[in-house]
Amino acid sequence: MVVDTLNNAHKYYNLHPSFAKAFEFLNQNDLANLTEGVTETPEGLKVIVNTANGKTEELSLSKFECHDKNIDIQVCVKGQETYGWKPREKCATPNGDYNPDKDVRFFSDTPDMFFQLTDGQFAVFFPEDVHAPMIGEGEIKKVVIKVKI
């Protein structure tokens, strides 16, 4: 997992061949005014723009998730978003089967830690990172870029 600000995104370009394009997209667009929904870039990145009210910790942890075929770059555009996190290797309680269509698997484990993102901060979640997003109060706007592995 990586947590940082978009101002430092260039430091992570070498972590994956598509990261430079993903972070360039984030830095070259007015994220506050992106249209809600899902789009794909010419480089094959899936961009998800979502605005919703924050969830309770309990509700978010009911979908404590990770992915097998994608890396998530999650950017807080507006609000304060709290995440739960735990390394997959320490998760012992699956919550259902892997869904290959949505590339998601869930766990019923307890996070090892919680952290917060605010405007212009991001987290990168690799397949090893089980995460529970959208914990918070009030409206949260975020952009998620799915990077295929």
User: What is the number of structural domains in the chain?
Assistant: 1
Q: How confident is the model at residue 145 (pLDDT cuts 50, 70, 90)?
A: very high
- The confidence band for 120, taking pLDDT boundaries of 50, 70 and 90, is very high
% of the chain beyond a pLDDT of 90: 100
What local confidence, expressed as pLDDT, does residue 9 receive? 97
Q: Domain span at residue 85?
A: 2-148
Percent residues over pLDDT 70 in the chain: 100
How much is the average pLDDT of 102-128?
A: 98
Vertex 75: Cα angle to 107 and 138 (nearest 5): 80
Question: Dihedral through CA 114, CA 54, CA 94, CA 18, nearest 10?
Answer: -80
Which letter, b or e, does each residue of 68-83 get, where b requires 16 or more Cβ atoms within 10 Å of its Cβ?
eebbbbbbbbbbbbbb
Q: What is the pLDDT of residue 78?
A: 97
Query: Domain holding 116: CATH number?
Result: 2.60.120.370
| pLDDT classification of 5: cutoffs 50, 70, 90 | very high
Q: Is the pTM of this model over 0.85?
A: yes
Mind listing the pLDDT tens digit for each residue in 33-84?
999 999 999 999 999 999 999 999 999 999 999 999 999 999 999 999 999 9
Q: Which helix (H) or strand (E) holds 19?
A: helix 19-28
Structure tokens given for 77: 């555009």
